[in-house]
Structure 1
Amino acid sequence: MSVVKKLASQTAVYGVSSIVGRVLTYLLVPVYTGYFAAAEYGIVTALYAYVSFLNVLFTYGMETTFFRFANQEGVDREELYGRVMSLLLVSSVGLTALLVLLAEPLLGLLDIPSGHERYAVWVALILGLDAITAIPFARLRLENKARKFATIKLANIGLNVALNLFFIVFCADVMKGEYLASLQPLVARVYDPTIGVGYVFLSNLVASGFTVLLLWRELFGVRFRLSLEPLRPLLKYAYPLMLMGLAGMVNETLDRILLPKWLPDNFYPGQSSLTAVGIYGACYKLSIFMSLVIQAFRYAAEPFFFAQSTEKNLPATFAMILKWFTLCCAVIFVGISLNVEDIGPLFLRRSEYLQGLMVVPVLLLANLFLGVYYNLSVWFKLTDKTYYGTYIGAGGAVLTIALNFLLIPVLGYMGCAIATLVCYFMMAVVCWRLGERHFPVPYPALRLGLWLLLAAGVVGLGWWIQPEDWWVRRAWHAGLTAAFLLALYFIERPQPAKPVVA
C-alpha cells in the first residue's frame, strides 16, 4: 500500500499543474461561449481537433521512449537526452515549415472560410514549440522534479488565460465603450477586432514561447548529436507508440472532424454544421473533470511504472492501482452526470450550447474507460511489445470511424458520443484480455465491472426520473449520489487487520 501512496502523492503534485491549470483554462469556456457564437467557437474546436493529431506526429512517441531507455542499466542519460532532443529539434522545424506552407489548403479541409490562414500559421508555430519542450518536461518527470514541472506548466496556462481575458474580454469591451473608453486609443494599438477567435490561438502561441524561455536550462545546454545508428533502437520502439497515438487521436478527436462532414443538411434546424461542432465541442469540455484525473495520473504513473518494473509484487500493485483509480472515477462520473443540468449553464453562457448537455454523461463514462485502458496498457510497454498498442488503437480507430459513419446521420453529435464510449470500452476489454495472456495481473475485473454497471444504472435512473420541481429534482439527484457513495464506502472500506493470536 505504501507504493500506492507514493504514486498517489506524485499524482497529487502533478495534479496541481494539471487540475488547477485545466480549471483555469476551463474558466475560459464561459468567456468563449459568451463572446463567440457557436459557429465561431466551431472554428476553435475544429482546429484544435487537428492539433491533437499533429501533436502526436510532432513528438512521435519519443516521450515514452525516453522513459524506457533512460531506465535501462548502463545508459548515459545525458547522451540519450541530447540525441532525442537533436532529433526532435530537426523534425519540429521541418514539420512546422511544412504546415505554414500548407495553411490555406488545410483550412479548406475544415470548411473554414478563407481569410483565416494566419490561424493555421499560429497553430503550426504552437505545435513546433510544444514539441521542442516535450522532452525537457519528460526529463523533469524522470528526475522527479514535479514541483518545477508543475510551476512551469502553471505559468504557461496562467499566461494563456491572462492573454485570452485581455484580448477577448478587456480589449473588446473597451473598444465597444463598455468601460474605460479613454483607453481606446491605447488599446487600438495592440488590439485588432478582425482577429476575433484568432486571439485564442495567438494567446496560446505567446504562452508556448514563454514556456521555451522557462525551460532554457534544459534546452540550451543540449549538445547536438544527430547520428542515425544510435537512434535506430529508439525509433523502432517509438514508431508503434506514434501509430498508437494517432489511432488514439482518431478515437478522441476525429468525431469533431467528421461531424460537419457527415451531418445531414438541416439536421439541427436553423444551425450550420460548424454550429453543431461548436455546441458539441463546448459540451465535450464538461467531461474535462474526468480527463483531469486521467491526465494527472498519467503524468505520475508512466515513470512510476517503469521504475517499479523489477519489483516482485508488481502485479498486485498494478491490480490495487487500477481498483482505486476506477472507483474514484466512478464517483466523478455519478456526481457530475447527475448535476450536469446545474453545472452546464455556469460554463455555457449562451442557451444554444445547452441543447447538447445530454452527451456529457456518455462522454464521462467514455473517458473513464479510456483511463482504465491507460492503466491496463502498462503490460505492453513493460514487455516492449508496443505493437500490441498499435493494433488495439488501430482497431479502435476503425470502430470509431465506422460508428460515426453509421450514427452521425441518425443521432447527430449524440452519435459521436456513443461511438467514443463503445470504442474506449472495447479497447479496455481487448487490452485486458491480451494482458492476461502476456503479463498476468490479478485485476478484480468482475468486481469493478459490477461497480461501473451500478454507477451507470444510478445515472440512468437519475436522468429517466426527472421531477419537475427544481428542489425535488436536486434532492433526488443528491440522494442517488449519496446512496452510491455510501454503498462504495461500506463495501470497499479497508478492513482492520485481525490481531495475531499467540
Structure 2
Amino acid sequence: MGIAKKLASQTAIYGVSSIVGRVVNFMLVPVYTGRFAAAQYGIVTGLFAYVSFLNVVFTFGMETTYFRFANRPGTDRRELYDRVLTLLLLSSVVLTLLLMLLARPLMELLGLPPGKERYAFWIAGILGLDALAALPFARLRLENKARKFAAIRLANIALNVGLNLFFIVFCPDVLAGEYLAGLAPLVRAVYDPTLGVGYVFLANLAASAFTLLLLGRELTDFRFRLNLEPLRPLLKYAYPIMLMGLAGMVNETLDRILLPRWLPKGFYPGQSSLAAVGIYGACYKLSILMSLVIQAFKYAAEPFFFAQSTDQNSPRTFALVLKWFTLCCAMLFVGVSVNLDLVARVFLHRPEYLQGLAVVPVLLLANLFLGVYWNLSVWFKLTDKTYYGTYLGFAGAVLTIALNFLLIPVLGYMGSALATLACYFMMAALCWWLGEKHFPVPYPMARLLTWLGLAVVVVAVSWYEPVAPGWGRYGFHALLTLGFVGLIAAVEGRRLRSL
C-alpha cells in the first residue's frame, strides 16, 4: 500500500496549509463575532459569497485542465504552463477592470448605501491577484513541491491574520486606552475607524499581493505565449469545469445571497435581514471545519487520481480512498456536532449568533456529502466526460434555488441549510449511479451509508437527550463521541492495520 501511504503523506503536508493554517485563519471568527454586530458581519458574509462565484470565473477551470493535459504523453509541460498563464493574465486584467466598473451595482445588490464602492475595488484586486497565483500553485502541486506550497500558503494566512488583528483589535484598543496609550498618535496615522469591516478586505488584498511575491520564481520564468489555436482543446476541456464550478458555487454560497431577499420581513423579531445573513454566515463557519479537511485532501488527491488513472488496480485504490475518507469525515461530523455547545463558546462571542447553532450539524453533513461527491467525480474527469459534472452541478443548482425559494419563507436560514444538504446528497447519489455505468468502481456504499446513518443517530441523541446542562452533559457528549470513534476502530481496525 505504498500508493496509499504516499497519498496520506501528501495530504498531511498540504494539510499544514489548508487545515492547520486555515484553522488559524478560522480563529478570526471569534474576533469578528466579538467586534462586529451581526448586521456588519453580514456585509463580510455577503461580499465573500459573491467572491466565491467570481473566483470560478477568474480561473475558469484551468487548474484541473492543467493537471489533465500535463499528464498526457508527449506534452511539453513548460510550454503548456506558459500558454495557460498567459491566458489567465489577460483574462484577469480584463475581469478586474470590469468588476471595478460595476462596483456600484454590486453594492446595491447587498443593499449598501453609496460610498462603499471601495469594497468592490478591493474585492476585484483580491480576485485578480488570486487568479494569477492559481497556476503557479498548481505547478507546485504537479511537481510535488508540497512543502513550498504549504509554506507560501501559511505565509499568506499569517499576514492576513496579523493584519486583521492589528486593524480590528489592536488599533481600536489602543485608541480606546485599553493598553499602550502612548502609541495612540502613531495608530491615528495608519488607522481609519470609519473603515470598520473594510479592513477585512484590505488585509486579504495585502496577503494576496504578498503571495505573488513569494511565487516569484514560478512567475519570473514565465514566457508570454499568445496563440489561440493550441488553447482550443484546453478551453473545450475547461469550460464544462467552469460551469460545474459556477453551479457548485450556487449550491455552496447562493443561500447567503438569496436569504436577505426571500426572508419575510420580521421573520426573526428585532433583527434585519442583513443580521440574519451575519448569524447564518458565522454558524456556517463552524461547518467549514469539514470543508478544511476536504480541501486538504483535494490538493493531494487531484494530481494523485490523474497519475493513477493508467494503473489496472486504480478502481480498488479509488474505492479504498473513498472508504477511509468517509469514515474520517463521519468521525469529524460526530465530534463537532455532539460537542457544539463547547465549540460555540469559543467562536461565537455575542449571544445573537448562538440563535443559528441548529444549522451547524445539517451543514456539516452536507459538506461531508460534498466531499463524497468530489471523490466519486473522478470517473468523469478520467474519462474526459466533464460535461457530466456540469449536468450534475446544474441539477444541484436547480434544486438549491427551488428549495431555498420554498423553505426560506417557512424555516429561515434552517431552510437554506436543509436545501444545501438535499443538494449535495442528490449530487453524490447521481454521480455514483452514473459512475457505475461509465467507470465501475467497487465502492462499499452500503457499509458507508450504515456508518453515516449511525453517525446521524448519535448526533440526534446528543441534541435531544435529557441530561441537564453542565459537566454531566459534557461528559455524556464526550462518551458518545468516543463510543462512535471506538466502534469504528473496533469494526474497521483490522482492515486499517492491514494498510
Pairwise CA RMSD of aligned residues? 1.1
Change (3 A) 1:495 1:375: closer
CA distance in 1, matches of 2:496, 2:12: 26
Greater alpha carbon shift after TM alignment, 175-184 vs 195-204: 175-184
Cα distance in 1 between the residues matched to 2:103 and 2:485: 50
Q: Which moved more, 1:144-153 or 1:481-490?
A: 481-490
Displacement of 1:342 = 1.0
CA deviations on 1:168-211 (whole Å, 9 max, x unpaired) are 11111111222222211111111000100000000000000000
Tell me, in whole angstroms, the C-alpha distance in 1 between the residues paired with 2:393 and 2:452. 23
Q: After superposition, give the CA deviation of every residue in 1:348-373 in whole Å (9 maximum; x if it has no partner).
A: 11111011111110000000000000
Report matched runs for 1:245-324 at 5 Å: 245-324=245-324
Distance between the aligned counterparts of 1:357 and 1:142, measured in 2? 40
Q: What is aligned with 2:350?
A: 350
- Structure 1 range deviating more: 488-497 or 80-89: 488-497
> C-alpha deviations, 1:29-51, integer Å up to 9, x for none?
11111111000000000000000
Quick one: which amino acid aligns to residue 408 of structure 1?
A: I
Q: Structure 1 residues 271, 218: closer, same or farther in 2, change over 3 A?
A: same
Write the letter of the residue equivalent to 1:307. Answer: A
Secondary structure at the aligned position of 1:494 is classed as helix
Call closer, same or farther: CA 1:218–1:268 in 2, change over 3 Å: same
Residues 62-85 of structure 1, C-alpha deviations (whole Å, 9 max, x = no match): 000000000001110000000000
Distance 1:468 1:461 in 2: 14
Gaps of 5+ in 2: none
Deviations 1:216-266 (A, max 9, x none): 111122110111100000000000000000000000000000000000000
* Residue in structure 2 matched with residue 235 of structure 1 by the alignment: 235
Shift of 1:466: 4.0
| Percent of aligned pairs with the same amino acid | 73
For residue 136 of structure 2, what is the aligned residue in structure 1?
136
Aligned partner of 1:11 in structure 2 is 11
In 2, the alpha carbon distance for the partners of 1:123 and 1:52 equals: 11
The code of the aligned residue for 1:424 comes to: Y
Q: CA deviation at 1:2?
A: 2.2
Q: Which residue of 1 aligns with 2:373?
A: 373
Q: CA 1:495 to 1:67, structure 2 compared with 1: closer, same or farther past 3 Å?
A: closer
State the distance in 1 between where 2:69 and 2:391 align. 23
Counterpart residue type for residue 480 of structure 1: L
Matched length? 498
Separation (CA, whole Å) in 2 of partners of 1:390 and 1:135: 22
TM-score by length of 1: 0.98
Letter in 2 for 1:16: V
Aligned counterparts of 1:412 and 1:432: Cα–Cα separation in 2: 31
Q: Who is 1:172 aligned against?
A: 172
In structure 1, the residue matched to 2:186 is 186
Q: Which residue of 2 aligns with 1:197?
A: 197
Q: Find the counterpart in structure 1 of residue 34 from structure 2.
A: 34
In the other structure, the counterpart of 1:330 is 330
SS in 1 for 2:87: helix
Supply the AA of the counterpart residue of 2:121. Answer: V
Question: What is the alpha-carbon distance in structure 2 between the residues aligned to residue 472 and residue 115 of structure 1?
Answer: 52
Q: Which residue of 2 aligns with 1:445?
A: 445
Give a deviation string over 1:262-307, Cα, whole Å, max 9, x none. Answer: 0000000000001000000000010121111100000000000001
CA deviation after TM superposition for structure 1 residue 389, in Å: 0.1
Match of 1:62 in 2: 62
| Counterparts of 1:366 and 1:476, CA distance in 2 | 25
CA distance in 1, matches of 2:287, 2:52: 17
Deviation, structure 1 residue 340: 0.5
Q: Which residue number corresponds to residue 457 of structure 1?
A: 457
Which SS does the other structure have where 1:111 is aligned? Answer: coil
How big is each residue's C-alpha offset from its partner over 1:287-335, in whole Å with a ceiling of 9 and x where there is no partner? 1211111000000000000011111100000000000000000000001
Shift of 1:428: 0.3
Gaps of 5+ in 1: none
Shift of 1:24: 1.1
Alpha-carbon distance in structure 2 between the residues aligned to 1:60 and 1:110:
25
The equivalent residue for 1:120 is 120
Q: CA deviation at 1:495?
A: 5.0
1:208 pairs with 2:199? no
Q: Deviations over 1:357-415 (max 9, x none)?
A: 11110000000000000000000000000000000000000000000000000000111
